């Protein structure tokens, strides 16, 4: 393998947060501008400022912005360009959805490329390549052999240059119809293989399945071993808050697709309004202003700097 320079500190932040017991709220980005919006979102809740802690580069939304289905179809090089733009657009750590990771050799390469690009980590799911989106009830979901997937985790970890880069094992057992015993068995196996964290996925409308998993996993961790931090993606069971998931043993909660879904709905409404009204006045209500875009992308600040220089 080539000798590579270590990545900058932004990459280490996710590991540091998890190590210090800080729970993380993660939100999806699919472009530099969506990452800027996500990174700057900040609200005051009962006197405490709340922000997202990390960014999720979703395969669903990375595919959707390219106009292709979420079937592990994109060329990784073109996705890498988006990942780099997203990392450049934020100071927050970036967690990349690596789908199945491909075969072990491809996964080593993926880990090295992402670590070098200063990503905070990668998540791979224990399904067979090419995977199908987990939320689609129509798709056949086939689990990977437990040993094959564990070897892939080991190979990915061994390929990384630092301890900071996280390799997260994502459990698709519930999605594929397996029972909780099998899902817990796999979680223990992947933890033992060196996964830095475990993501359990479910498409039930209720959080019961993932909550039961969290308590069963913790109870099953053998003496002397540590339970890995747990992540979940509450897209379907979305009446439970991130705070409640944290209280029930989760360290990370990922809102995996909402910024693109919001933009898509607004785009459809605006396109229809432009045609219906035959002008743009009514559509303005659904749009950011041009000034908003200037400010978000640094245009306003760049012009101000130029003007200061001219007036000196």
Residues at the contact surface with ligand SPV, assessed by CB under 6 A: 58-60, 97, 133-135, 233, 235, 256-257
Residues at the contact surface with Mg ion, assessed by CB under 5 A: 59, 97
Whether the Cβ atoms of residue 122 and residue 110 lie closer than 8 Å to each other = yes
In the list Mg ion, ligand SPV, none, the entry touching 135 (Cβ below 5 to 8 angstroms by class) is: ligand SPV
Cβ closest to ligand SPV, residue 98 vs residue 229: 98
Rounded distance, CA 265 to CA 269, Å?
Answer: 6
Cβ closest to ligand SPV, residue 96 vs residue 283: 96
Contacts for 271 with CB less than 8 Å, ≥ 6 apart: none
Cβ closest to ligand SPV, residue 155 vs residue 201: 201
Residue nearest to ligand SPV (CB): 58
> Is residue 164 annotated as a catalytic residue, yes or no?
no
In the list Mg ion, ligand SPV, none, the entry touching 233 (Cβ below 5 to 8 angstroms by class) is: ligand SPV
Question: Closest Cα to residue 232, out of 163, 157, 147, 172?
Answer: 172
Whether the Cβ atoms of residue 201 and residue 125 lie closer than 8 Å to each other = yes
Two structure tokens written together for 167:
């390799």
Quote the least distance from Cβ 92 to Mg ion, whole Å: 20
In the list Mg ion, ligand SPV, none, the entry touching 214 (Cβ below 5 to 8 angstroms by class) is: none
Describe the crossing of helices 146-159 and 180-192 by its angle, rounded to 10 degrees. 30
Quote the least distance from Cβ 119 to ligand SPV, whole Å: 15
Cβ closest to ligand SPV, residue 34 vs residue 133: 133
Quote the least distance from Cβ 294 to Mg ion, whole Å: 33
Q: Long-range contact list for 249-253, CB < 8 A, 24+ apart?
A: 249/211, 249/214, 249/215, 249/218, 250/23, 250/210, 250/214, 251/18, 251/21, 251/23, 251/24, 251/197, 252/18, 252/23, 252/24, 252/25, 252/26, 252/54, 252/197, 252/199, 253/23, 253/24, 253/25, 253/26
Quote the least distance from Cβ 216 to ligand SPV, whole Å: 22
Contacts for 267 with CB less than 8 Å, ≥ 6 apart: none
Rounded distance, CA 134 to CA 123, Å?
Answer: 14
Cβ closest to Mg ion, residue 53 vs residue 97: 97
Rounded distance, CA 41 to CA 125, Å?
Answer: 29
Quote the least distance from Cβ 234 to Mg ion, whole Å: 15
Residue nearest to Mg ion (CB): 59
In the list ligand SPV, Mg ion, none, the entry touching 82 (Cβ below 5 to 8 angstroms by class) is: none
In the list Mg ion, ligand SPV, none, the entry touching 232 (Cβ below 5 to 8 angstroms by class) is: none
Catalytic residues: 70
């Amino acid at each position: 393998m080539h000798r590579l320079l270590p990545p900058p500190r932004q990459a280490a932040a996710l590991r540091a947060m998890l190590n210090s017991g800080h729970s993380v709220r993660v939100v999806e980005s699919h472009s530099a501008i969506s990452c800027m919006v996500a990174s700057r979102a900040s609200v005051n809740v009962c006197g405490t400022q709340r922000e997202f802690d990390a960014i999720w580069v979703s395969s669903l939304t990375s595919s959707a912005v390219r106009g292709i289905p979420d079937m592990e179809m994109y060329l990784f090089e073109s996705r890498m360009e988006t990942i780099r733009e997203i990392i450049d657009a934020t100071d927050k750590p970036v967690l990349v959805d690596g789908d199945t990771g491909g075969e072990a050799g491809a996964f080593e390469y993926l880990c090295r490329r992402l670590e070098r690009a200063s990503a905070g980590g990668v998540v791979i799911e224990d399904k067979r390549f090419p995977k199908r989106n987990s939320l689609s009830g129509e798709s056949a979901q086939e689990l990977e052999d437990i040993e094959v997937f564990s070897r892939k985790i080991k190979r990915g970890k061994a390929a990384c240059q630092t301890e900071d880069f996280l390799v997260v094992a994502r459990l698709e057992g519930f999605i594929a119809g397996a029972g909780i015993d099998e899902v817990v068995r796999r979680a223990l196996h992947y933890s033992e293989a060196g996964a830095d964290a475990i993501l359990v996925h479910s498409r039930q409308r209720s959080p019961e399945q993932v909550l039961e998993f969290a308590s069963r996993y913790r109870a099953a961790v053998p003496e002397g071993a540590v339970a890995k931090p747990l992540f979940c993606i509450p897209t379907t069971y979305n009446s439970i808050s991130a705070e409640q998931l944290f209280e029930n043993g989760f360290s990370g909660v990922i809102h995996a697709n909402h910024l693109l879904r919001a933009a898509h709905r607004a785009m459809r409404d605006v396109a229809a309004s432009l045609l219906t009204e035959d002008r743009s006045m009514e559509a303005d209500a659904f749009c950011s202003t041009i000034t908003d875009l200037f400010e978000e992308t640094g245009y306003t600040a760049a012009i101000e700097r130029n003007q200061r220089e001219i007036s000196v």
